[in-house]
Amino acid sequence: MNGFKLIRSPMEALKEHFGFSGLREGQDRVVAAIMEGRNVLVVMPTGGGKSLCYQLPALCREGVCLVVSPLIALMKDQVDALVAKGIPATMINSSLSFPEQKERLSGMKEGSYKLVYVAPERFGHEGFMRALAEVDVNMVTVDEAHCLSQWGHDFRPDYLKLGRAIEAMGRPQVAALTATATPRVRDDILEHLHLEDPVTIVRGFARENLHFRITACDTHKEKYKRLYDLVKHNKTGIIYCSTRKKVEQVYEALSDLGLSVTAYHAGMTDAQREEAQNAFMNRQADIVIATNAFGMGIDRADVRFVAHFEIPGSVEAFYQEAGRAGRDGRDAYCELLFNHADLRTQEFFIEGVNPGVPLIVELYELLRKHCSAESHEVSWTLEEMAERLKCRNAMQVGAALSVLMRNGAISRHDVPGQRVKLTRVADPSMSGLKIPLDERAIREKEVRDREKLKAMTEFAYSSGCRQQWILNYFGEEGAVPCGRCDQCMALGVEEGQVMGEEETRVVRQALSGIARTSVRLADGSWQGRWGRTKVIQMLKGSKSQDLLKTSLVRLSTYGILSSWSEDDIRQLFRAMQMAGLTKMSGEADRPLITLSPKGNEVMMGRQEVSMIWPFARRSAAPERRGQARVRATGDLAALGEFDEDLFMKLKELRNELAREAGIPAYAVFHNSTLEAMARLKPTTHRGAMNIHGIGERKAARYLDDFLEMIAEHCGV
């Protein structure tokens, strides 16, 4: 190895080049398995330190470690970071001219590099594979390995070339790494790479410093209001949007506030994207608004929040993107701003990535008709192909090309030094009807994509711990409530779970109104017919002209909650939704509300009402005008001045009591209860029992310790 002295052990390499004294949980097992020469499949959460798992062994062994990476920006970041640490590394991808690629291949042959990052499409080039035959490749690392699987959330056809390429290289050791893979995706990865006797290491998906929250937003105004709150309380963050247009809208809105923001999406030029990424990484911008094109490999440790302005297409995508928060180990916040209507965008994407067989054949016929007689190549962009096909969704063209590539009918090649791909028809004499298209597999993929979106939608409507739901989705056994998400913080008030007589009556009245606006199906389930706003107006007894024109005013439940404001009924609906009593159905742009099976049981009186009442210190009885209210999630400031020193002491006491009892901290008292104590400063049981979250059972078990702490702090 030219100028690089091999290091005796991974721990020495860790200390000498990375400045760390020890490995994290899971990293040590991966490094040990690789050093033993085993093939490995590693599933480790975003921010878990996957890169070190293959970088350290590479510095201790002869030969080159090839790292397959899907994005040029990701490669560049990794290579720049390694070179800065004195490690010989480089990359080979379409951003380089042919002479540059040739020079780096020569360097690999001469042993000038320890790690070489390579784009997956390179493995489809005969010249590249011939050059690799002369290189001492000791290991192939497949980063973002879920891209191999059609069951994964980010399938990339170029990854399918890797199994054959590894075979052609004489089957060197293989390490496959991913942050998000269900058991089915893991099996797919192992099958495609033909791994022999692999060690599979799945480190827990849980991130103990992340606080998950889902906020139901009926309007864009509500989304922006919540976004402003997030930005106000958290300096650095990433805001994900589903489309380029939305990125630009949110960017303009936050820029108008004078915030330090930048934008990133696939419609920008390479130079613009690089400038935006560098601005965020170099702390010239604190907030980036982006599509999912941004973030893979981003290593800014102090990201305090990740917000999804719209629902993503899968739980895998949501968790991977959310995982870019809090890599420094400090508390960070991950929030989904959820509106059912946003599902329409994801449904459009699903249509785009799942072209039917007729479109695939039509595209192939177009390509073979217009390809060059000599090279059999076409240099059209996706947009040009879509225009010629009169296809409104260019995504469908890209997906159709992927299917044709998998069937060997065409190949796609980069033009060195340019971001252009040439499409080559394998045999222009072959009719499109002769291509062995697997219609069943094509249909199944669309079904899988819709299942992923359905799972993400179920997550958005779920009750219970957010992180526990995600861990169960990924097949992690024994997952327990995190104690940090919005649901856990609310559910920590155990006395607030079962509703009293008045609250139960109101909930059943609301559910009865929803039932009367729905249709009972033969199987006993309910199907909605009206949107949430109209049902809320009906329960209120609204006199709006739009409502008066409908049959809703003739229902027996019209005006049954007339003493409530529409805003309060809307909050009640959100609480019922979070408790799993209602569900949404219908088209994304016209969601309809109806009862869930659980909601039906509650309405019929066969099940107790167990939910988070959205109004603190307030019964369900009508209020007198001007009566003071403090919401369960809201205006604690009305209780008095906040004593931060006392609050921190109370948190420390709570954590100590929780450790002694072997329970989560929130099971003692959650933060809002401690904050109320730090404002009211009660020193007697009678004074403390007025605080929401302190019931008789908790008071008997824990309250004396807290009152003693408050008295000592106040000098009483």
Name the residue ranges covered by the structural domains of the chain: 10-202, 210-338+454-487, 348-437, 492-626, 636-714
Whether the pLDDT of residue 409 is over 90: the answer is yes
- The predicted model gives 387-393 an average pLDDT of 86
pLDDT tens figures, 325-342: 998 888 999 999 999 989
The pLDDT-based confidence of 7 (bands split at 50, 70, 90) is confident
Q: How far is CA 713 from the centre of its chain?
A: 43
DSSP state at residue 217 = -
State the pLDDT confidence band at 42, using cuts at 50, 70 and 90: very high
* pLDDT of amino acid 494: 39
Span 348-437 CATH architecture: Orthogonal Bundle (1.10)
- Whether the pLDDT of residue 99 is over 70: the answer is yes
- With a CB cutoff of 8 Å and minimum separation 6, the contacts of 673 are 492, 493, 691, 692, 693, 694
Task: Please state the rounded mean pLDDT for residues 434-441.
Answer: 88
Closest to 455 in 3D by CA, of 469, 440, 436: 469
User: Comparing 183 with 380, which gets the higher pLDDT?
Assistant: 380
Helices (H) and strands (E) in the chain, counts: 29, 22
Give percent above pLDDT 90 in the chain. 42
Rank 30-39, 277-286, 419-428 by mean pLDDT and report only the highest. Answer: 30-39
Q: What pLDDT score does 490 carry?
A: 65
So what's the pLDDT on residue 633? 34
**Which one, of 45, 42, 54, 48, lies nearest residue 13 by Cα?**
54
Residues 6 or more apart whose Cβ sits within 8 Å of residue 528 = 514, 517, 518, 584, 585, 586, 592, 593, 594
Q: What is the CATH number of domain 10-202?
A: 3.40.50.300
Q: For 605-659, how does the pLDDT look when each residue is reduced to its tens digit (9 = 90+)?
A: 888 877 767 664 444 554 433 333 233 334 455 566 778 889 889 988 988 888 7
In whole angstroms, give the CA distance from residue 93 to residue 115.
14
For 665-702, write each residue's pLDDT tens digit. 777 887 778 888 888 888 888 878 878 778 777 888 88
Give helix 315-322 / helix 439-461 axis angle, nearest 10°.
60
Token pair belonging to 608: 């107790």
Q: For residue 553, give both structure tokens.
A: 């005013």
Cα(115)–Cα(59) distance, integer angstroms: 9
pLDDT score recorded for residue 477: 65
- Torsion angle of C-alpha atoms 113, 118, 124, 129, degrees rounded to 10: 0
Q: Do domains 210-338+454-487 and 348-437 have the same CATH topology?
A: no
What residues have CB less than 8 Å from 231, skipping those under 6 apart?
Answer: 237, 254, 257, 259, 287
Identify the weakest region by mean pLDDT among 260-264, 382-386, 417-421, 470-474.
417-421
Does the structure show a pLDDT above 80 at 222? yes
Q: What is the pLDDT of residue 500?
A: 75
Q: Which of 89, 96, 205 is nearest to 141 (CA)?
A: 89
Give residue-wise pLDDT tens across range 586-610. Answer: 665 577 899 988 899 999 988 887 7
0.85 exceeded by pTM: no
Lowest mean pLDDT among 253-262, 325-334, 419-428: 419-428
Q: CATH number of the domain at 492-626, please? A: 1.10.10.10
Report pLDDT digits (tens) over 442-469.
888 888 889 899 999 989 988 778 998 8
Report the distance separating Cα 645 and Cα 662, nearest Å: 26
Give me the pLDDT at residue 298, please: 67
481 near 468, Cβ under 8 Å? yes
Q: Tell me which architecture the domain covering 210-338+454-487 has in CATH.
A: 3-Layer(aba) Sandwich (3.40)
**What would the two tokens of residue 362 be?**
């039509």
Higher local confidence (pLDDT), 67 or 183: 67
- How crowded is residue 477: how many other Cβ atoms within 10 Å of its Cβ? 6
Q: What is the pLDDT of residue 394?
A: 83
The CATH-assigned architecture of domain 636-714 is Orthogonal Bundle (1.10)
Q: C-alpha angle with apex 402: 243 to 241, nearest 5 degrees?
A: 10
Cα separations (Å) of 178 from 52, 160, 477, 614?
A: 13, 16, 19, 40
Most confident among 69-73, 181-185, 307-311 (mean pLDDT):
307-311
pLDDT of residue 586: 66
Q: How far apart are CA 499 and CA 314, in angstroms?
A: 34
**Which residue from 178, 9, 17, 3 is spatially nearest to 82, judged by alpha carbons?**
17
